[in-house]
Structure 1
Amino acid sequence: MIHTTNYINTFIEIADDCTISHAKTPPEKKTKTLASLQYEQIKKNPYLYPSDDIIFECYAIKNNISESEKQQEKIQFFSKGQPCLRSSPLAKRYRFEIHHNKEGKVAIFAVDSKEYQNFLSDDTIKKVKAMRSKKK
């Protein structure tokens, strides 16, 4: 069985326990963090990739998976459930909302952007909260 992290026509809102007040780009570090990898993938390519591709590509980069190994590794990776973008540090820590369009392709928007307000007021888009960083 192949699992998926993709959503369709869904807006992932920031986590209730996000501690910063304005969207913040993940900091650059010597070794790229999951947050910086996801940010780069999505920000540079809005609405180009579905969640599955972003999550797997970040995994492949972090684990040095070669191009020739990717196809087989991706099948194995999604043979069990994987955390979706609701668990992304972008929505949990850095105040970026994640939008999945009608084709399931992903883009991110800062909490203080006009697009964010438009998504919030659009009743045709499903809204889900990012996962909290800490249990209540």
Structure 2
Amino acid sequence: MENVDYTSTFITVAPDTRAVAGVEPVGSSIAASTFALIAPEPYALRSSDVIFRVWASRHEVDASSADEWAAFYSTPHACLRSSDLGKRYGWGIHADADGRLAVYAVGSDAYESLAAGVAPDGSAVTVTAAMRSSRR
């Protein structure tokens, strides 16, 4: 299986984002679906769960099928660093020590603390940026 899960990591917004605050994505976009899975229940799902569930929903596939999971992850997939949450909508994504996710709005105190390498529980996190939207 392709490993798309992060642990003890904070994905900041992309260096070239124009976002100055977190804006909830709306509609049926991948970003909106991703946000809808993470935001209401912080630290409940891992990246691999979110990525697969969004894909399964968009392709009308049973998200609880182990066979579908195995088939999906038999090929490489982009991680959440490429998500529009961090590139366009102003959300940082934190993966705790168990790989479970929560989102934090850019500019918030919690975002700033995580971007400085300190998790909500006081533990250290690795900080990495979301992928740029454009090439340099």
Instruction: Give yes or no for TM over 0.5.
Output: yes
1:125 aligns with 2:119: no
1:55 aligns with 2:51: yes
Deviation at 1:20, TM superposition (A): 2.5
1:66 equivalent among 62, 75, 78: 62
CA–CA distance in 2 between the matches of 1:113 and 1:22? 8
Hey, what does 2:134 align to over in structure 1? Answer: 134
Hey, what does 1:10 align to over in structure 2? Answer: 9
Deviation at 1:73, TM superposition (A): 1.2
Hey, what does 1:94 align to over in structure 2? Answer: 89
1:12-48: CA deviation from partner (whole Å, max 9, x where unpaired): 0100111222211112x3xx11011001000012100
Q: Which amino acid aligns with 2:133?
A: S
1:115 aligns with 2:110: yes
1:79-108: CA deviation from partner (whole Å, max 9, x where unpaired): 111100000110110010000000010000
Query: What 5-or-longer segments of structure 2 have no aligned partner?
Result: 119-123
1:34 aligns with 2:30: yes
Hey, what does 2:121 align to over in structure 1? Answer: none
Query: What 5-or-longer segments of structure 1 have no aligned partner?
Result: none
| Structure with greater proportional helix content | 1
Q: Which amino acid aligns with 1:122?
A: G
Q: Alignment partner of 1:56: what SS?
A: helix
CA–CA distance in 1 between the matches of 2:116 and 2:129? 15
Deviation at 1:133, TM superposition (A): 0.9
Q: Which amino acid aligns with 2:34?
A: Q
Aligned length: 131
CA–CA distance in 2 between the matches of 1:132 and 1:122? 20
CA–CA distance in 1 between the matches of 2:18 and 2:61? 34
TM-score, scaled relative to structure 1 = 0.91
Runs of 4+ with >3 A deviation = none
